[in-house]
């Protein structure tokens, strides 16, 4: 009897040159693009999206190591971070000058942790001292500061589907402050605290960005926390805790997914189903938070199906070396082979 599988990978993977001493690889989850940057861009930048039609290739001056690179929505403006103090911009709009222009962060002595495009001409700088929301004027090759917020930041997460940025604050990192962006406005949402299994003494950064993800499930935004436990009689294993994050009102803990094991995990959202992959057993668990009616404030869920492995698939190498087909990033752009009508809601995060 043939082994059954719930999931399979796409038969059309995105292929690109592997990371090396001369080639850096980046993944932009907002546009689902892989960037391969050779020699700081001087010998070429190749951008590949989910399909062959979205590929772009160009060159740019080598002005130092590239820390982050992303196109705005529609590939109109390219943003490149090379230092901890500023971000460079290049127009890709026809008939606009392609000369680079630069924006330094406004906060004195701050370091830029990264940036997020919230529209084709609006961008947010996240620094260790807060966030700065800018509008980009490609014709004038300049930026205008729309709003800023001072707050100590450990790390951040971004959900492009909802344009919500989540900032980790406090010494332990478990107080999360979300901000929402829409049509040139920045809204400070209600902050909330992630319940840690153990509170360290003395206090230190405990909550990692690798243990947090955001996703839209059944039209609602959730913050997902992978909560590790040592396997004991009273604690059967790790669990995924879902916090419902509404646009207005308090963020509340709403669902707990029982993994019944320990180890390293990866997480997917596919068509509103939460898929948790377990590394050591090479199997995947599927959860559906709508399968049963909620009967209390925090609902506990078991997997809806027995654990299974992903359908084996060998990627044709086409002259490339093994391992070139996957970005060396916490996030992957591999998409499941599902129907066109149900395909867009997909997220993958690798947890520690």
Residue 11 burial (CB < 10 Å; 0-12/13-18/19+)? exposed
Verify cis geometry, omega within 30 degrees of 0, for the bond prior to 202. Answer: yes
Residue 136's Cβ-count burial label (10 Å; 0-12, 13-18, 19+) is buried
CA distances from 295 to 245, 255, 341 (A): 19, 11, 31
C-beta of residue 254 within 8 angstroms of C-beta of residue 239: no
Task: Check residue 344 and give its pLDDT.
Answer: 34
CA dihedral angle for residue 66, residue 158, residue 31, residue 131, rounded to 10 degrees: -60
Residue 11 has a pLDDT of 81
Strands 252-258 and 299-301, bridge-based pairing: parallel
- Quote the pLDDT of residue 2: 52
Highest mean pLDDT among 12-16, 53-57, 183-187: 183-187
pLDDT at 318: 56
- Render pLDDT for 230-276 as a digit per residue (tens, 0 to 9): 655 566 689 999 999 999 999 999 999 999 999 999 999 999 999 99
Cα atoms in the 13 Å half-sphere on the side-chain side of 123: 31
Reply yes or no on whether the pLDDT at 216 is more than 80.
Answer: yes
Domains of the chain: 14-153 (2.130.10.10), 154-312 (no CATH)
| In the block, residue with structure tokens 């040139």 | 184
Strand 122-127, strand 130-137: pairing: antiparallel
SS3 track for 176-236: EEEEEEECCEEEECCCEECCCCCCCCCCCCCCCHHHEEEEEECCEEEEEEEECCCCCCCCC
Across the range 129-147, mean pLDDT stands at: 97
What confidence score (pLDDT) does residue 184 get? 94
Average pLDDT for 336-352: 35
Q: Work out the pLDDT band at 63, boundaries 50, 70, 90.
A: very high
For residue 17, give the DSSP letter: P
94-106 mean pLDDT: 91
Is pLDDT above 70 for 342? no
Predicted confidence (pLDDT) at residue 335 exceeds the cutoff of 70: no
Q: Are 261 and 282 in contact (CB under 8 A)?
A: no
pLDDT in tens, 169-212: 999 999 999 999 999 999 999 999 999 988 888 989 999 999 99
Cα(21)–Cα(38) distance, rounded to whole angstroms? 9
Predicted local confidence at residue 348, as pLDDT? 43
Give the distance from CA 156 to its chain's centroid: 10
Length of the chain: 352
pLDDT tens string 110-133:
999 999 999 999 999 999 999 999
Please state, for a pLDDT cut of 90, what percent of the chain lies above it.
72
């Amino acid at each position: 009897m043939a082994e059954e599988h719930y999931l399979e990978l796409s038969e059309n993977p995105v292929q690109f040159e592997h990371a090396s001493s001369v080639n850096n690889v980046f993944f932009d989850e907002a546009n689902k693009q892989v960037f391969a940057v050779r020699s700081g861009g001087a010998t070429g930048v190749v951008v590949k999206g989910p399909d062959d039609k979205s590929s772009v290739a160009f060159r740019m001056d080598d002005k130092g190591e590239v820390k982050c690179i992303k196109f705005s929505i529609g590939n109109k403006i390219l943003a490149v971070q090379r230092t901890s103090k500023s971000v460079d911009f290049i127009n890709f709009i026809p008939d606009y000058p392609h000369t680079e222009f630069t924006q330094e962060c406004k906060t004195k002595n701050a370091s830029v942790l990264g940036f997020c495009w919230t529209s084709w001409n609006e961008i947010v700088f996240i620094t260790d001292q807060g966030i700065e929301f800018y509008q980009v004027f490609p014709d004038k090759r300049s930026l205008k500061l729309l709003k800023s917020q001072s707050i100590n930041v450990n790390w951040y997460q971004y959900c492009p589907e909802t344009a919500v940025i989540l900032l980790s604050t406090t010494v332990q990192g478990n107080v999360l402050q979300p901000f929402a962006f829409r049509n040139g406005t920045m809204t400070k949402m209600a902050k909330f605290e992630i319940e840690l299994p153990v509170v360290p003494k003395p206090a230190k950064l405990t909550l990692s960005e690798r243990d947090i993800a955001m996703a839209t499930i059944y039209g609602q935004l959730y913050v997902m926390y992978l909560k590790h436990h040592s396997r004991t009689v009273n604690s059967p294993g790790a669990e995924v805790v879902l916090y419902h994050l509404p646009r207005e009102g308090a963020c509340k803990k709403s669902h707990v997914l029982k993994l019944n094991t320990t180890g390293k995990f990866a997480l997917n959202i596919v068509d509103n189903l939460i898929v948790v992959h377990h590394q050591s057993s090479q199997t995947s668990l599927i959860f559906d938070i709508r399968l049963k009616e909620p009967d209390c404030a925090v609902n506990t869920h078991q997997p809806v199906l027995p654990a299974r492995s992903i359908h084996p698939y060998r990627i044709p190498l086409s002259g490339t070396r093994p391992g070139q087909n996957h970005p060396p990033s916490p996030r992957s752009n591999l998409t499941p082979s599902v129907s066109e009508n149900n395909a867009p809601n997909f997220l993958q995060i690798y947890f520690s």
